[in-house]
Structure 1
Amino acid sequence: MLPIRSHLAAALAAAGVFMAAPAFAQSSGCGDAQKFLNERQSLIQQINKLGGNGKKKTIDPRTACGVFTKLVSNGNVGIKWLETNKTWCQVPDEFAKGFEEDHKRAVEMKGKACEAAAKVAEMEKQAKKERQNGGGLLGGGGLTGSYTMPKGAL
């Protein structure tokens, strides 16, 4: 009787391992959230540094466009993760809703930053073209002629 019990115990143990394997795979997916959340936090810190941490500072739209593009990509990964794992990982509805709203704002800001970056690039291209064609810094033909210093006492 002992060999049958040991085989039965071994079979149940093996079944338990295989039954637990999907749960283990799912629970390891819950840890994946930490990866994109850490990356997201780093990107938000970069955005805050662009703004001068509350100081009035001109932000380069090209740099902002790049950072917001990464943030939107990160948000897409987060949204996909939430759709797949929200229930299993017991993510609160408030967190999921806040994340989705934050993602929408990031998409909007990316659009504005990248649009401004495109305008800056176009203006730089136009200014370079003007300079190559002999245009002045302020447009038009530039300053021409000569200026003589007055003679005598000032």
Structure 2
Amino acid sequence: MSQRRRFTLALTVAAGLGLSAPALADCGSDMQKLAQDRNVELQRVNDFAKAFHGKPLDPEGFCVKSAGLLRAEAALIAYMDKNKDWCSFPDEAINGLKASHAKNAGFSAKACTVAAKMKKMKEQAAQGGGGGPQAQPLPAGPL
């Protein structure tokens, strides 16, 4: 049987079973795109951190920069979970990415919390209110 005919037969069987386009994912190219998106966002975060040359990071800036990384990682994890069996993604790879994502999300949440506190303190100071305790800057370093 020719390659083209086998492919057509596979699509016909898949359609008959009610499998949609996502079930017929092109694992290699999809993963390449998703991983590239994540790597671009990770590079943005790391470049931002390196720009501080070991000094405390700007929490508001980090909060903004890390949002793209978190979205890219979430998309990658969702794809891998959804297509785990079809694409034969090993549990170790998925779990490793989930652990990395949890770490990144935790650090981002801390940055966003500090940024929100700093913003509130600035607003209070502008309105003539007391300064209260100072928010601590984030430690320096890339993710």
TM-score with structure 1 length normalisation?
A: 0.65
- Deviation >3 Å, runs of 4+: 20-23
Deviation of the 1:42 alpha carbon: 1.4
Q: Deviations over 1:110-138 (max 9, x none)?
A: 210110110111122122222xx9x9xx9
- Unaligned regions of 5+ residues in structure 2, if any? 132-143
Fraction of identical pairs, as percent: 27
Q: Could you say which residue in structure 1 is the equivalent of 2:10?
A: 19
Which amino acid counterpart does residue 91 of structure 1 have in structure 2? Answer: F
Are residues 31 and 63 of structure 1, via their aligned partners in 2, closer, same or farther at CA, if it must alter by over 3 Å?
A: same
- What do the CA deviations read for 1:55-77 (whole angstroms, capped 9, x no partner)? 31231111111122222222221
Q: Deviations over 1:69-127 (max 9, x none)?
A: 22222222122111111222122332211101011112211210110110111122122
| Residue in structure 1 matching 2:50, options 49, 52, 70 | 52
CA deviation digits over 1:13-61, x for unaligned, max 9?
A: 4x851424649x5242442222221111111112212222793123111
Aligned-residue Cα RMSD (Å) equals 3.0
> Which amino acid in structure 2 is aligned with residue 45 of structure 1?
Q
- 90 and 16 in structure 1: CA distance in 2 versus 1, 3 angstrom threshold: closer
| 2:136 corresponds to | none
User: Which segment is superposed worse, 90-99 or 114-123?
Assistant: 90-99
Question: Which runs of no fewer than 5 residues in structure 1 stay unpaired?
Answer: 1-8, 139-154
Question: AA paired with 1:104?
Answer: A
Aligned partner of 1:84 among 66, 82, 85: 82
Q: Which has the higher contact order (CA 8 A, sep 6+)?
A: 2
Q: Distance in 1 between matches of 2:7 and 2:121?
A: 66
Question: 2:29, 2:11 → 1: CA distance?
Answer: 17
Report 1:66-145 matches (<5 A).
66-130=64-128
C-alpha contact (below 8 Å) 1:30/1:85 kept by paired residues? no
SS of the aligned residue for 1:87 comes to helix
